Amino acid sequence: MTGREKILSDVVKNKPTAIPLPVLDFKSIDQPFDILETFTKYVQAVGGEVVHVAHEQALLQQVTNERSAGKYIINRVPAGGQVDDVPVDPAILESVYRAYIKGSFGVAENGAIWVMESAMGNRILPFICEQLVLVLHKTELVANMHEAYASIQIDKEGYGVFIAGPSKTADIEQSLVIGAHGPKALSVLIIM
């Protein structure tokens, strides 16, 4: 018998009698009164900042300014001008000062933002850059994780991630330190 067969047959031998899958009534759960306000509050609570801009033009302006100041910027958002290809080698990406990536949507209850592989260009980009900017439109917000999972197909792409704030740790005496391994800052740019 292979390990697989042995494990599965032991499960069959030892499992309890069938218990039905519960019916989950997600609609019964309260929604926050103001989704944008709640989202903003939680992004801040998890260590990020929220910047509102009136128009996509502001994003383009910011990216252009930073590029001309000679910073290593990777822009993945079409509204920010030229969309850059992302190098494969992490050793090169290590020096990225700021990465602009389009989020699919934000979640009000915890400030998390769903980001798909295709938006990143390289899966490591949102982790290895010094600072991360995630771009959302004001309408791209949901109330909670139930709505979030109802809006995505998790296996649509090979990889996807919810990002809530910059990288952090409290492993030394429970003191919060921002920038453990990943970005030291996260801004959420909301186009109103």
User: What part of residues 8-47 is at the interface with other proteins (CB under 8 A)?
Assistant: 8, 10-22, 24, 26, 28-30, 42, 45-46
Build a one-symbol-per-residue string for 45-74: x at contacts with other proteins by CB under 8 A, - elsewhere: xx----------------------------
- Cα–Cα dist 97/67, whole Å: 10
For Cα atoms 44, 154, 37, give the angle at the middle one, nearest 5 degrees: 25
Chain CA centroid to CA 146, Å: 16
Cβ pair 87, 93 in contact under 8 A: yes
Cβ pair 146, 107 in contact under 8 A: no
Q: 150 vs 192, which CB is nearer to other proteins?
A: 150
Applying CB under 8 A, what is the total number of residues that bind other proteins?
A: 75
Which residue(s) pair with 100 in the sheet? 75, 133
Q: Report H helices in 69-143.
A: 90-93, 117-120, 125-128
Q: 70 vs 181, which CB is nearer to other proteins?
A: 181
CB of 76 to other proteins, least distance (A): 15
CB of 128 to other proteins, least distance (A): 7
**Residue tagged 């899958």 (tokens):** 21
Binding of other proteins by 180 (CB under 8 A):
yes
Build a one-symbol-per-residue string for 109-148: x at contacts with other proteins by CB under 8 A, - elsewhere: xxxx----x----xxx--xx---------------xxx-x
Site for other proteins in 75-104 (CB under 8 A): 90-91, 94
Q: 38 vs 75, which CB is nearer to other proteins?
A: 38
**Tokens linked to 114:** 């769903």
CB of 21 to other proteins, least distance (A): 5
Q: Which of 168, 188, 190, 191 binds other proteins (CB under 8 A)?
A: 168
Cβ pair 188, 134 in contact under 8 A: yes
